Amino acid sequence: MKIKEIAILWATLTLLAIAAGFLTHLQKVQKLGQPGVKIVQEPVTNNAGVILAPVSVYLPKQIPSFVSKELPVTDVEFNTLPKDTTYGRRNYRSFDGFECNASVVLMGSDRTSIHKPQYCLVGQGWKLEKTEVETVRMQLPQPYDLRVMKLTLSITVNKGDKIIPVRGIYTYWFVADGELTPNHWERMVMTARDMLTSNVLQRWAYISYFAYGSPGQEDAVFARMKNLMITTVPQFQIASGSAAKNVAAMQEETPDQQSQPLANLSARQ
């Protein structure tokens, strides 16, 4: 190896060591940010009803024209993600049969709680047909545009001796204290920025809504989903676009405040 190459190698290793030391220092002095969603003293359970954690992310239980039920967290997910991860899961079913699952995964001090959802969906057998950013016009706590990532998915299921094609609509975005983004990489850039400028590790939450229907129903399913989001999101999400509300003030509000009736849309099921 030439002297010049050795010098470059040592310089590279030195820079890496300095960077590692700087990151270690940041981890020791960094502060954990406030969550952008509401946390309540309600336990998270698994499929067997065993309590996995004493607190959860609040999701509204009572929605006009819907019934809801808590969804369990699987043992595999709970044992895989960091122990300081906080969950919220709920299924919403309208009186005409439309169903949608809402989920929140809130990180603690370990950033590995949050990951790209595409990996899990493909692992469950879904095929990704389309990825696009959509805007949902929220009305509360004040009008603003919520940008979400919308995935159009497909899968086939066996029903008796028939193979039935199914289309799924999966929307997600990330929220922290006063920050919103539908983009995974933008979230990572914002995380690095906050750590470098203020020594704050933001507690990002990954929020998703998932519903499905028959081929050709994609637009109708998404319309129903948007209306559900307009009603439910303001009840648990603290950040609200450019006019983010004070975290402490929102945490003190009654969870079931701000409930608004859904528009009476219908989708062929």
Render pLDDT for 5-15 as a digit per residue (tens, 0 to 9).
665 666 666 55
- The reported pLDDT for the residue numbered 173 is 96
User: What percent helix, strand, coil does the chain show, rounded to 5?
Assistant: 30, 35, 35
pLDDT at 208 over 50: yes
Q: Give the dihedral sign, CA 38/90/211/232.
A: negative
Render pLDDT for 220-254 as a digit per residue (tens, 0 to 9).
999 999 999 999 999 999 988 654 443 333 444 44
- The reported pLDDT for the residue numbered 60 is 96
pLDDT at 22 over 90: no
Q: What is the mean pLDDT of the chain?
A: 82
When mean pLDDT is compared across 75-79, 97-101, 186-190, 244-248, the lowest value belongs to 244-248
Could you tell me where the beta strands, DSSP code E, fall in the chain? Answer: 31-32, 39-40, 44-45, 51-53, 56-57, 66-70, 86-94, 99-106, 127-138, 144-159, 162-176, 179-181, 200-201, 205-213
